[in-house]
Amino acid sequence: GFQIEESEGAGDKALSIPPDLATCAECEGEVFDPENRRHGYAFTNCTACGPRFTIATDIPYDRQSTTMARFEMCSDCRREYEDSEDRRYHAQPNACPRCGPRLRFVTLGNAVALEREPLRAAATLLRSGGIVGVKGLGGFHLACDARSSAAISKLRERKRRDEKPFAIMVRNLAAARELAELSPEEEALLSGVERPIVLLRARPSAGLAPELSPDTPFLGVFLPYTPLHHLLLGKVEGPLVMTSANVSDEPICKDDDEARRRLSGIADALLVHDREIAMRCDDSVARVISGVPTLMRRSRGFVPRPMMLSTPVSRPILACGAHLKNTFCIAVDDTAYFGPHIGDLESVAALEFFEEAVERMQAILSVRPEVLAHDLHPAYLSTRYALARVAEARVGVQHHHAHVVSAMAEHGVDGPVLGIAFDGTGYGEDGASWGGEFLLSFPERYERLATFRPIRLAGGNVAMREVWRIAYALVDDAFDGAAPIESLALFDAVSGEARGVVAQMLERDLNAPAAHGVGRYFDAFGALALARPESSYEGQVAIAWDVAADEGAHEPYRFELDESTTPPQIDLRPAVREAVGALLAGASPGVISGRFHATLVEATAVVTEQLLGRLGPLPVALTGGVFQNSTLCSGVQAKLHNKYKVLRHQEVPPGDGGIALGQALIADAFLGDKG
Ligand code: ZN
Ligand code: ZN
Ligand code: FE
């Protein structure tokens, strides 16, 4: 028996550590029942709910291999645990106020506790505009009153979080309905056992502070998923900002000492407890994109849920993922496992978390892959990790090919497909930045059939923040050096000297690399039409441009397909000239954005039709971060789905958080029977 079980491999072992599960209705009921022995107890759970992955220290998953090992069950809890009829039978984190973890309220700096009881002390501080670091399942959140402009501004300032939107937690579905009109799919996502943050279009009348989300009407909303959250929200009685506790883009805090160190100066107090977090696991993020629930970040609640592969891999593979929004993936036999969301691999702390999470997932799966898949970009920390680690084989995978194969894998399609991969950037075989790609894709190879005419980025990465540079290059190219720069409001905000430097860079082709990413067109058009010279974070102006579009049908601008280049390029210069003309004639940004989106949809559909006219009716995969844009995604789908099978992402993120799966399958297919 033992032998057979062993050979069944990693799949079964991983299943023995499930993802974390949101508090079930019965446990929630007990927590609010004054007669129940768990009344007010923040660590209540049962076999249907509670922490799992985030408390597991080893396999197999039993109490001794979790951070609950140090708590001796009392006789009542023990009885429940051993009674096969009880709903807490073998609930590994089972606990009660007598024997289990306890809350503690710790003030930082000059703050004082006005109450003795930790939950009340936290609620009182929150209601008076304070910031509290709250220890959750996979890490700390920073909490404050979501209706208080002052509290949110203070948090933004202390956290140095530019202008990125903050997620908010509301008490229940009814409270979520007050903030936004919910579709049935959105309700299902919000109340699902995984409890992701769900992006919703907020009602203007929602009563929330405008500082929550300065650029977009979309708000990240989620429901309580631990008894601690339920109790806290119950006491505060209003929506709370609950944002991952970190500074800038470092990994989420998980230990009490670490929180005290890293969050002093940000939080006024901490609401902590003595159940340790074994594995950091940030919140997942989802959105319904034209009717389809789509994960944008796959982490808490989903990790380490296995994904079945239609074609098993021949050897265990670790795929190291991309650079931004990094997640890695381990594929074994017929199953793939994503690790938790690591974030942007830009700091030592993030790389350490990446390594720690890889080690942990390997331990859980009892596997140490000898084959490593990585991005082609030589400077990515994920690439450097792969190159430094001892391995039998390493396979460099093109970024957009990986995006497409991730979409194929999610649908069990072995190829070939026409992959349409639109994003901000990804390293191309020619060393250029790609991101407007039409790829005939197989698991082991691809052919680049078309792309977008590139925009040059004067100053390289500087242009990501100073997006006016991208706009400058766009109009300069479209008007062949005779652009009406002086007439465009955008450039009023830029000094003549800075403009001169950029003009020189473009003219002499100095530090002005060409980028094919569709995301750069969003930056450039958004900067121009909204007169916004800078992005305070990656994609800020692009997002503002996405949501700027007026609803309804719009006429596309003109565009061309330039077949004199290899591969052919979608040339939007006619569209740029029309849009600039409209802008100067006083057209509204809403109309220009609507027509811009219509142009992208039309160009994508025309090129797809042309390519598939030649190749035959292959399935079409829509992938890459730009396809999180619902106008574009639904527009392209509407044009194609009657003729072709359209593959869209659901549980694998369309953005860079999803590419590790494709990397793993490409590496395996590439090696074939070798290696
Ligand atoms: Zn329960
Ligand atoms: Zn107990
Ligand atoms: Fe990408």
Q: What is the pLDDT of residues 234-292, one digit of tens each?
A: 999 899 999 999 876 788 999 999 999 999 999 999 999 999 999 999 999 999 998 89
CB 571 within 8 A of CB 560: yes
Q: b/e map of 6-42 (b: 16 or more CB within 10 Å)?
A: eeebbeebbeebebbbbbbeebbebbeeeeeebebbb
User: For residues 284 and 365, what is the distance between their CA atoms, to the nearest angstrom?
Assistant: 22
Q: Which numbered ligand comes closest to the C-alpha of 95?
A: 2
- The alpha carbon of 87 and the centre of ligand 1 are apart by a number of angstroms equal to 8
- Give residue for tokens 């003595």: 274
Tell how far the Cα of 100 is from the centroid of ligand 2, in angstroms: 6
Q: How far is the CA of 576 from the centre of ligand 2 (A)?
A: 68
How many angstroms separate the CA atoms of 321 and 373, rounded? 8
Closest-approaching ligand to the CA atom of 375: 3
DSSP classification of residue 586: T
pTM of the model: 0.95
- Residues in contact with 347: Cβ distance below 8 Å, sequence separation at least 6, in sequence order: 249, 250
Positive or negative: CA dihedral 383, 388, 389, 390: positive
Cβ-contact 233, 224 below 8 angstroms? yes
Residue spans of the chain under pLDDT 50: 1-11, 14, 675
Class of residue 175 by CB neighbours under 10 A (exposed 0-12, middle 13-18, buried 19+): middle
Cα of 563 vs centre of ligand 3, distance in Å, is: 25
Q: How far is the CA of 330 from the centre of ligand 3 (A)?
A: 19
Please tell me the distance between residue 41's alpha carbon and the centre of ligand 3 in angstroms. Answer: 43
Instruction: Check residue 43 and report its DSSP letter.
Output: T
Ligand 2 centroid to Cα of residue 169, in Å, is: 29
Pairing of strands 317-319, 514-515: unpaired
Cα 566 to Cα 86: distance, rounded to the nearest angstrom: 67
Ligand nearest to the CA of 31: 1
| Interval between CA 29 and ligand 1 midpoint (Å) | 9
Q: 90 CA distance to ligand 2 centroid (A)?
A: 14
How many angstroms is it from 228 CA to the middle of ligand 2?
Answer: 17
pLDDT for position 42? 98
What distance in angstroms lies between residue 350's CA and the mean position of ligand 1's atoms? 33
| CA gap 340, 285 in Å, rounded | 12
Ligand nearest to the CA of 25: 1
Among all ligands shown, which has an atom nearest to the Cα of 422? 3
Calpha distance 74→627 (Å, rounded): 52
**Which ligand does the CA of 404 lie closest to?**
3
Q: Which ligand has the shortest distance to the CA of 87?
A: 1
Q: How far, in Å, is the centroid of ligand 1 from the Cα of 48? A: 5
Quick one: pLDDT at residue 15? 55
Ligand that lies nearest to the alpha carbon of residue 50, given by its number in the listed order: 1
Distance 68 CA to ligand 2 centre (A): 12
Q: How is 424-475 classified by DSSP, letter by letter?
A: EEEE-TTSSEEEEEEEEE-SS-EEEEEEEPPEE-TTTTHHHH-THHHHHHHH
Task: Tell me, in angstroms, the distance from the centre of ligand 3 to residue 423's CA.
Answer: 5
Dist. CA 39 → ligand 2 center (Å): 13
Q: DSSP code of 637?
A: H
Distance from the alpha carbon of residue 27 to the mean position of ligand 2, in angstroms: 15
Sheet holding 307-308, edge to edge: 307-308, 335-338, 329-332, 317-319, 371-375, 393-397
The tokens 């006024």 sit on which residue?
A: 268
Ligand (nearest to CA of 539): 3
For position 591, what pLDDT does the model report?
Answer: 98
Q: How far is the CA of 614 from the centre of ligand 1 (A)?
A: 56
The alpha carbon of 37 and the centre of ligand 1 are apart by a number of angstroms equal to: 14
Ligand 2 center–CA 99 separation, angstroms: 4
Q: Report the separation in Å between the CA atom of 79 and the middle of ligand 2, taken as the mean of its atom positions.
A: 9
Whole-number Å distance, alpha carbon 101 to ligand 2 midpoint, is 10
Q: How buried is residue 127: exposed, middle or buried, by Cβ count under 10 Å (0-12/13-18/19+)?
A: middle
Q: Which ligand is nearest to the CA of 324?
A: 3
CA angle 459, 214, 289 (to 5 degrees): 90
Q: Compute, in angstroms, the gap from residue 93 CA to the centroid of ligand 1.
A: 11
Q: For residues 308 and 97, is the Cβ–Cβ distance under 8 A?
A: no
Please tell me the distance between residue 89's alpha carbon and the centre of ligand 2 in angstroms: 13
Specify the pLDDT at position 545. Answer: 95
For residue 83, report the distance from its CA to the centre of ligand 2, in Å.
14
Please name which of 489, 492, 467 lies closest in space to residue 543, comparing C-alpha atoms: 467
